Amino acid sequence: MITLRNIKKIYEIGDEFVHALDGVSLDIHDHEFIAVVGTSGSGKSTLMNIIGCLDTPDEGAYEIDGQDVTDMTDFQLGVIRNKKIGFIFQQFNLLQKLDAYENVELPLIYQGVQGGQRKERVAKALERVGLEHRIHHRPNQLSGGQQQRVAVARALVTQPTLILADEPTGNLDSKSSKDIMRLLHELYEQGNTIVLITHDNDIANEAERIVRISDGKIISDTGGVVE
Amino acid sequence: MKIGQAVKMAISSIRSNKMRSFLTMLGIIIGVMSVVLLVSLVQGATGSITSELDSLGGNQLTVSIVNPDTTLTLKEVNSLEDKEEIIRVAAYNSGSGTAKAEGNSSDVSITGITENYTDFTELNLLSGRSILEIDNEYRLNVCVIGNSVAMDLFGNTNVVGSKIRLSGKDYLIVGVLEEQGASMLNSTDTTIYIPFTNAQRLLYSTGVSSFYVASDAETLDAAEEVLDTYLLEKTGDSDYFSIINMASIQDTINTVLNTMQMLLAGIAGISLVVGGIGIMNIMLVSVTERTKEIGVRKAIGAQKRDIVVQFMIESVTLSLMGGIIGMVLSIGILSLVTALLEGYTFSVSFSVAAIALGFSIAVGLIFGIYPANKAAKLKPIDALRHE
């Protein structure tokens, strides 16, 4: 359960102040599949960074599972990112020196999960995305679609509150895109909460709920209540 | 994160950049090698010099009377043993001559000694016996010869019982010495030892102009004073005699050698610091290159501490590997030098090895802190955007 209230983020570019987010309020409930749609510069990336605890808002309140995130220390934010959020990036962002298994294992290592349990969970996550036969391949030995599936496995291995996917199909061909979207659907149907950030309306239409954002404001929301 | 995991990651990162890692390590390798080699060489030389000095005896004084008109008699010298501070004395004299046997001749040092002499200077007998009191008492024409003398004159060392001719007199060989080898001091190899009383006649010297005095470590300085007073009274001038205190010479030499060792280690230590700067430089480059990686790690939950540990372990692994390689090379070079240089033994002492490796770990830690902190302080959002 995520609650955003009147979130503002202001960047200073030269003498001008740019309101990247200008009073955004949003509730994300457990087991939702939301697409946040907007053009480049609409503020959707800033929103994603704030939801993902990579960045902090200048104003407003943000609660995740009842915890107020806005006053957290770097350490606490690290714990939130590690345990409550699973990231899927446009550029996959896998570590090139590690193989698929080690990439998926990394968040569990940082969490301090012990060896045997870790092995089990990594294997399960890779099986979930259908890569159990590629566990010792490095990213450069995998296709784009496979790399993104490793990234999905890495996002879901910690059993996060929220899977945050930023243009997950932006670097993929149409077939791999379909595979990834099908995977996200399956994950949603199995009870995960997914927030998909995209500029692509076709992709967005696959979500259960669509939030449109423009100039730092939510302009429409098919599911929630806009204040 | 577990240290084992971090070490694994560090090694894989070092291996993925082999040439760069090697060049970085080279600074530490050279630094460790120069520290270990210089200190070990000085230690080896110190060992040789100290054992050479020890062979001359520790708690003893060497007295020489330089004015030929005021020598002491053997009886006077021997009576010095009655003094409380003095345990034993041994008069000796030395000169040179030509020894002949079996048609061969050899230039030799001749040293006249009494039985006590072997208490001061060790004579390692290969066969036979040394010069005894009875030889002096009866002025027997007997001699103990050095190894080279035997080889030069007879071609072998199995010559106890044979005779050699010294200044027209036949001497019976009663002992042959072991080969001593190269020495900075007078070698026993080319020396013939004969009874003191015979040597007085042979070398045309009357009285005693040189003798050793033995004392205890505690009474050595007191003995020196007693001798000084006694000899000043006998000769009338402090310029006419000299007393050499081996212990104080040894102390001085040790101080000089220790200072030299510290100095060389210090100079070599500078190269270790330079190596450390090389590591810091490469780690800084590595942090910049891997900004994106750091961003990803932070996004999936790495804490500052995890990033610091990762980079610190990388720099310590680099410097420790350099240290170990430098150590192995040093040991190789030292055993080669030992094999090539006769009479010297060079080895890496445990303390030198421990200090050098300890220093390379310290260098890795000290010069790794700054880059590691720089990496850890990156904001995840900025690091992720970095291309």
Complex-level ipTM: 0.92
Verify whether the Cβ–Cβ distance A106 to B297 is below 8 Å: yes
List of chain B residues whose C-beta atoms are within 8 Å of the C-beta of residue A21: none
Interatomic CA distance for residues B217 and A58, integer angstroms:
82
Interatomic CA distance for residues B29 and A10, integer angstroms:
52
Task: Give the model's pLDDT for residue B291.
Answer: 92
Using CB atoms and an 8 Å cut-off, which of residues 93-122 of chain A contact chain B?
93-95, 97-98, 106-107, 109-112
pLDDT in tens, chain A (227 residues): 899 999 999 988 888 888 889 989 999 999 999 999 998 888 888 999 999 999 889 999 999 988 899 889 999 999 999 999 999 999 999 998 889 999 999 999 999 888 889 999 999 999 999 999 999 999 999 999 999 999 999 999 999 989 999 999 988 999 999 999 999 999 999 889 999 999 988 889 989 999 999 999 999 888 754 44
Per-residue pLDDT, averaged over B375-380, amounts to 91
- Cα Rg of chain A, angstroms: 17
Interatomic CA distance for residues B300 and B297, integer angstroms:
5
Verify whether the Cβ–Cβ distance A83 to B306 is below 8 Å: no
Phi-psi region of A176 (alpha: psi -120 to 50; beta: other; left: phi over 0): alpha
Task: Give the model's pLDDT for residue A227.
Answer: 40
DSSP3 helix / strand / coil % (chain A, rounded to 5): 35, 30, 35
**φ, ψ of residue A108 in degrees (nearest 5):** -70, -35
List of chain A residues whose C-beta atoms are within 8 Å of the C-beta of residue B14: none
Q: Is B362 exposed, middle or buried (0-12, 13-18, 19+ CB in 10 A)?
A: middle
CB A53 within 8 A of CB A3: no
Task: Give the model's pLDDT for residue B294.
Answer: 93
Element (H, E) at B65: strand B60-65
Pick B303's closest partner by Cβ from A54, A78, A83. A78
List of chain A residues whose C-beta atoms are within 8 Å of the C-beta of residue B314: none
Verify whether the Cβ–Cβ distance B299 to A81 is below 8 Å: yes
C-alpha distances out from residue B202 to B192, B199, B234, B349, Å: 12, 5, 26, 50
List of chain A residues whose C-beta atoms are within 8 Å of the C-beta of residue B306: 110
Verify whether the Cβ–Cβ distance B381 to A112 is below 8 Å: no
Q: What's the gap in Å between the CA of B321 and the closest CA on chain A? A: 21
Q: What's the gap in Å between the CA of A221 and the closest CA on chain B? A: 27
Domain positions in chain B are 3-53+251-385, 68-236
Structure-token match 């996004």, residue found: B299
Do the bridges between strand B104-113 and strand B191-195 make them parallel or antiparallel, or are there none, so unpaired? parallel
Phi-psi region of A94 (alpha: psi -120 to 50; beta: other; left: phi over 0): beta
- pLDDT tens, position by position, B186-218: 678 888 999 988 888 888 877 888 888 888 777
Verify whether the Cβ–Cβ distance B306 to A110 is below 8 Å: yes
Helix A74-84 and helix A100-111, axial crossing angle in degrees, nearest 10: 130
Structure-token match 């599936």, residue found: A149
Helix B304-340 and helix B3-15, axial crossing angle in degrees, nearest 10: 60
- pLDDT tens, position by position, B237-289: 878 888 888 777 888 888 888 898 888 888 888 988 898 999 999 999 999 99
- pLDDT tens, position by position, B317-333: 999 999 999 999 999 99
Q: Report the chain B residue with the minimal C-alpha distance to residue A80.
A: B301
Whether B117 shows a pLDDT value over 60: the answer reads: yes
Q: Report the chain A residue with the minimal C-alpha distance to residue B299.
A: A81
Closest Cα partner for B268 from B340, B363, B130, B127? B363
List of chain B residues whose C-beta atoms are within 8 Å of the C-beta of residue A89: 384
Q: What's the gap in Å between the CA of A79 and the closest CA on chain B? A: 6
Whether B185 shows a pLDDT value over 80: the answer reads: no
CB B120 within 8 A of CB B212: yes
Interatomic CA distance for residues A47 and A216, integer angstroms:
9
Pick B300's closest partner by Cβ from A75, A81, A97. A81
Domains, in order of start, for chain A: 31-59+72-221 (3.40.50.300)
Interatomic CA distance for residues B231 and B233, integer angstroms:
5
Q: What's the gap in Å between the CA of A74 and the closest CA on chain B? A: 8
Interatomic CA distance for residues A187 and A65, integer angstroms:
20
Interatomic CA distance for residues A224 and A37, integer angstroms:
15
C-alpha distances out from residue B114 to A22, A117, B111, B119, B133, Å: 110, 86, 10, 10, 6
Could you give the 3-state DSSP secondary structure of residue B8? helix
Verify whether the Cβ–Cβ distance A81 to B303 is below 8 Å: no
Q: What's the gap in Å between the CA of B324 and the closest CA on chain A? A: 26
- Enumerate residues 6+ apart whose C-beta is below 8 A from A84: A64, A65, A160, A161, A162
Interatomic CA distance for residues B266 and B261, integer angstroms:
8
Element (H, E) at A106: helix A100-111
Q: What's the gap in Å between the CA of B278 and the closest CA on chain A? A: 24
Mutate to test the interface with A, among B289, B296, B300, B309 (most CBs of A within 10 A): B300
Interatomic CA distance for residues B363 and A163, integer angstroms:
43
Verify whether the Cβ–Cβ distance A75 to B380 is below 8 Å: no
- Enumerate residues 6+ apart whose C-beta is below 8 A from A115: none
Bridge partner residues of A149 (DSSP): none
Interatomic CA distance for residues A38 and A33, integer angstroms:
16
- Of the pLDDT bands very low, low, confident and very high (cuts 50, 70, 90), residue B183 is low
List of chain A residues whose C-beta atoms are within 8 Å of the C-beta of residue B5: 109
Percent of chain B clearing pLDDT 70 (strictly above): 96
The two three-digit tokens of residue A53, written as one number: 């605890």
Verify whether the Cβ–Cβ distance A74 to B2 is below 8 Å: no
Indicate the pTM of the whole model: 0.72
Do the bridges between strand A67-68 and strand A85-88 make them parallel or antiparallel, or are there none, so unpaired? unpaired
Verify whether the Cβ–Cβ distance B292 to A93 is below 8 Å: yes
Interatomic CA distance for residues A2 and A161, integer angstroms:
9
Higher per-residue pLDDT: B49 or B105 = B105
Q: Is A41 on the interface with B (CB under 8 A)?
A: no
Q: What's the gap in Å between the CA of A21 and the closest CA on chain B? A: 16
Q: Which amino acid is at B331?
A: I
Whether B184 shows a pLDDT value over 60: the answer reads: no
Pick A110's closest partner by Cβ from B12, B302, B384. B302
Element (H, E) at B62: strand B60-65
